[in-house]
Amino acid sequence: MGESAGITNGLSPSRKPRSSAVNRLANPSLTNAPLLSPETSRIVTSRSIDFISPSKAPLTRTTTATLLEQACAHLIKVDPRMKPLIEAHPCRVFSPEGLAESVDPFEAISSGIISQQVSGAAAKAIKARFVALFADGGNADSDAATRRFPHPSQVAVQSIERLRTAGLSQRKAEYIIGLAEKFTSGELTAQMLADAPYEEILEKLIAVRGLGRWSVEMFACFGLKRMDVFSLGDLGVQRGMAAFVGRDVAKLRNKGGKWKYMSEKEMIEISEQFSPYRSLFMWYMWRVEETDVSTME
C-alpha cells in the first residue's frame, strides 16, 4: 500500500437510504452494524444485542447512542493527549448515525476485491458495470440509482468470461465467484458475521481467496463496526502512532523496512491499552498524519 495513503483506494458499497438512528444495545466486542442478509435483504443484528427502547434504556447500558461517547472517554482516560485530537476530529463511523447504516456484507467484501490495485474512479466504474450485468438483463442504460447489488446466488452461477466484461481481471472474477459460493453454501452468513468472535471472523474471511488480513481488518472495522480491531500491518497507522508519541517521522522516512516508524512490539503494547476500543484509536492514529480513509468509510 502507498505510504502516504496508508490504505489502498477502497470502494465503498452503494449507499442505502439513510434512516433515523434507532437506539440499540451495543457491544464493543461484537458487530454493531445492522447487516443485510445478501440473499433476502433481511436486517440481521447480533443475537447477543437485543433491541432496546430509547425510553427504557438503563443508564448503565452501552447503546448505539452512547458507544462513541464511552469509547472517546476511555481513550482520553488512557492517554490525555487524545483529547485535543478527538475534539478536532469527530468520528462519524461509530456515531449513532454511522451505526444506523445497514451493510450488505457480500457487497462490501466484493467492493473491496474490485478496488484492489486500481484507482477509486476505476473501481467505481467497474462496480457500476458489474451491477449492470444483473439489472434488466444486463442493460447498462438502466437507471444506476435503482440498481441493487446482485445476490450471491446470482453471481455464483456466472461464468468468469461474463464477469470479465465488466472490467474485472480473471483473478478478481474468480475471487468474487468464490466469495459468492461461500455465501450461497452458508459457509458465510450475515448472522455469523454478526455473532461470531472476531478471531473466528478473521479465520473464515482470510481463508477466502482474494482476501488478506488487512482487507478483513478494514471490513471488520468499517463494515461490521467492530470496535476492537487494530491493524498492525497498516503503515499509515504505524506512522501516525510514531508521530503521536513524539517521533520525527520525517527523519524516519528513509529508514526502510516494514517497521521503520515503530516496532511491532511497541505498536502492540501501546494499542492494547486502548482495548476494547482499538478501532477508534486506530482511526485517530490515521488522523494524526492526515491519512485519507474516506473511501473505506
pLDDT, position 128: 95
DSSP letters spanning 255-274 = S-STTSSS-HHHHHHHHHTT
Q: Are 30 and 198 in contact (CB under 8 A)?
A: no
pLDDT, position 249: 86
The string of pLDDT tens digits covering residues 99-118 is: 999 999 999 999 999 999 89
The string of pLDDT tens digits covering residues 115-141 is: 998 988 999 999 999 999 998 654 444
What kind of fold does domain 105-193 have according to CATH?
Answer: Endonuclease III; domain 1 (1.10.340)
Confidence grade of residue 50 (pLDDT, cut at 50, 70, 90): low
pLDDT, position 19: 47
Which is nearest to 127 in space by CA: 104, 143, 108?
108
Q: Is the dihedral of CA 154, 122, 11, 217 positive or negative?
A: positive
pLDDT, position 289: 85
Cβ-based neighbour number of residue 217 at 10 Å: 23
- pTM for the predicted model, two decimal places: 0.84
Q: What is the mean pLDDT of residues 179-201?
A: 96
